[in-house]
Structure 1
Amino acid sequence: MNSRKGFPRGTDGATAAPGADPDIGTGATLRRRRRGPSLDKTAQTRQQIAEAALAEFVECGVARSTMERIACRAQVAKGTLYLYYPSKDELLRGVVEHALRHSAVYRPLRRRKGETVRAFLRRSLLPTLEAVDSSERGMLARLVLSEARHAPELARLYKELAFDAWQNYVQDLLALAVKEGELRTRSVSHSAQLLASPFWMALVHNNLLASEGSQKLALKPLVELLIDNLFAGAAGDNVVVQHQ
């Protein structure tokens, strides 16, 4: 005589534990199967697609790149690509945001107690410039130089997310330096533009003019020198500041 008579049996004929619901295991299994990808997996796939798209844009140009080729390069299904980026314009924004993720604008540091604006600028900006030429930020800037005329949406996104955002970030810091008596300048906005100029000078020189690696300009020392020169004046002689 079966001492476990009356207990429900599973689909494999095994006797279930007392008080067990035969549908609990099945329901849990179905929930596990229906659960979407994890946040880590989602972020990884999004990064994979953005990196593949940037490489495709640089190699083939924005207009000539297709979603199908980008999906193939990213090693994802075309449907997966459209799930993350329903249109090419949204993919462009994703590429720009991904390439700029290490910029000082999007990873702002906290100013230390007693730290001068000059010291904060150096600590905030200089480390991000060391390898910018070979980074995705450098790739994006080169893409903008070559493709902006043919891809106006790329130009608009870069101006909004990179150029204007960086200028506003630096301009706010310089205005603070003027307010605290640390900097004198005839124009805060022009000074911010001046600090951005070595990036574009090095980009054009290193990618179009320098035939050998030894001739390439190092970006970090140029910005470092500009910061030092900008703050070299006597703070007590500050002139009226113009933001435009």
Structure 2
Amino acid sequence: MPTDTPPTPSAKRERRKEARPGELLDAALDLFVEKGFAATRVEEVAARAGVSKGTLFLYFPSKDELFKAVVRESISGRLVEWNSDFEAFQGNSCDMLGYCMNSWWDRVGATKASGLTKLMMSEAANFPDIAAFYQQEVVQPGHSLIRRILQRGIDRGEFRPMDLDCAVYSVVAPMVFMILSQHSMGVCMPNHLTLDPRKYIASQLGILLDGMRPAQAPARHPRQDGAARAV
């Protein structure tokens, strides 16, 4: 005979309470990406999560704090993983840069969270405090990690010396374009084209690496060799 007893109402309420922050963050992410920051109301977030507005404010005292929690949960929290990956990576810096770009796509670009980048580009000027937070939590740490990868390549002789302040954007810009292409109804591309993320990353990586590798000494023509000239 089974001995398990059904959960008590208090146990159900406890599980529900523990689930609420995650459900609220999921609902907020959906709405922020769908409607933008300004147009999203906390009442809508609460309703989509199936709780009252008062319950939402128990966890997040304002819409600003809710947005910050969404960013930390879905984007900036990933930077801990990426920095750990950097420390553990054993391959060359070309492979490391490719891993970084593809990993970003898997963990952020291919998810709903990528819509937050478009949101910030559209609304940052109207919400300077939110923009400053995003710079501190996402942009600066992300750029710092890319700089570390590029500097590693320079130090190991795998990349030529370069202006890292500019080179960082050579890596970031293609990824931002990919976000815009999927969150702007294809306005960045002709209607008959579909952007394959993997092919696009491989193409951009090839262009980047051909420009970053040290210049090779020109091959000598056989007639420049002493023995050849002696004939």
Normalised by the size of structure 1, how large is the TM-score? 0.68
Q: Which amino acid aligns with 2:191?
A: E
Normalised by the size of structure 2, how large is the TM-score? 0.71
| Native 8 Å contact 2:170 2:208 kept in 1 | no
Q: CA deviation at 1:71?
A: 0.5
1:70-95 superposed Cα distances (whole Å, 9 cap, x missing partner): 10011123232112211222111011
CA distance in structure 2 between the aligned counterparts of 1:212 and 1:131, rounded to whole angstroms: 27
Aligned residues: 202
The equivalent residue for 1:27 is none
The equivalent residue for 2:28 is 53
Q: 1:203 pairs with 158, 176, 179, which one?
A: 179
Q: CA deviation at 1:230?
A: 4.0
Note the 1:1-244 alignment, pairs <5 A. 37=14, 42=18, 44-100=19-75, 103=78, 105-108=79-82, 109=85, 111=87, 114-129=90-105, 133-206=109-182, 207=184, 208-210=187-189, 212=191, 214-216=193-195, 218=197, 219-234=200-215
* Structure 1 portions without partners, runs of 5+: 1-31, 237-244
Q: Which amino acid aligns with 2:60?
A: Y
CA distance in structure 2 between the aligned counterparts of 1:41 and 1:223, rounded to whole angstroms: 45
Q: Which of structures 1 and 2 has the bigger CA Rg?
A: 1
| Native 8 Å contact 2:29 2:113 kept in 1 | no
CA distance in structure 2 between the aligned counterparts of 1:37 and 1:59, rounded to whole angstroms: 31
Q: Identity of aligned pairs, percent?
A: 22
Deviates more, 1:216-225 or 1:193-202: 216-225
CA distance in structure 2 between the aligned counterparts of 1:57 and 1:200, rounded to whole angstroms: 18
* Structure 2 portions without partners, runs of 5+: 1-8, 218-231
Residues 56, 113 of structure 1: alpha-carbon distance in 2 compared, 3 angstrom cutoff: closer
| Structure 1 or 2: more helix by fraction | 2
TM-align CA RMSD: 3.3
CA distance in structure 2 between the aligned counterparts of 1:222 and 1:100, rounded to whole angstroms: 25
The runs of at least 4 aligned residues of structure 1 exceeding 4 Å deviation read 110-114, 130-134
